[in-house]
Amino acid sequence: MRYWPTTLIFIIGCNPPQMCYQNHYQTLTNYAVNATETTPEGIGVDSSGQAVDLAKIDRLTDELEACLRTNFADDPAIPADAAAKADCRTDGVTPKTNLDPNVTVKRECLTVKIPTDWIVSACSGEEVLLLPADDAFCLAKGITPTPECPCRWRVATQDDNTIVSPPGLKLYKAELARIVTGCNNVWVVPQITACL
DSSP per residue, 54-103: HHHHHHHHHHHHHHHHHHHHS--BPPHHHHHHHTBEETTTEE--B--TT-
Q: Are 74 and 187 in contact (CB under 8 A)?
A: no
pLDDT of 161-180, one tens digit each? 999 999 999 999 999 999 99
What pLDDT does 39 receive? Answer: 98
Where residue 93 falls among pLDDT bands split at 50, 70, 90?
confident
Rounded to 10 deg, the angle between the 54-73 and 172-181 helix axes is 50
Element (H, E) at 8: helix 4-13
What pLDDT does 169 receive? Answer: 98
Average pLDDT, the chain: 90
Side-chain-facing half-sphere of 40: CA atoms under 13 Å: 8
Residue 12: pLDDT over 50: no
pLDDT of 102-146, one tens digit each? 999 999 999 999 999 999 998 889 999 999 999 998 998 888 999
What pLDDT does 64 receive? Answer: 98
Report the distance separating Cα 196 and Cα 59, nearest Å.
13
Per domain, the residue ranges of the chain are 19-116+153-193
Side-chain-facing half-sphere of 184: CA atoms under 13 Å: 17
Element (H, E) at 44: strand 44-46
Supply φ then ψ for residue 111, to 5 degrees. -135, 140
Q: What is the DSSP letter of 188?
A: G
What pLDDT does 191 receive? Answer: 94
Element (H, E) at 106: none
What pLDDT does 92 receive? Answer: 78
Report the distance separating Cα 128 and Cα 134, nearest Å.
14
What pLDDT does 90 receive? Answer: 86
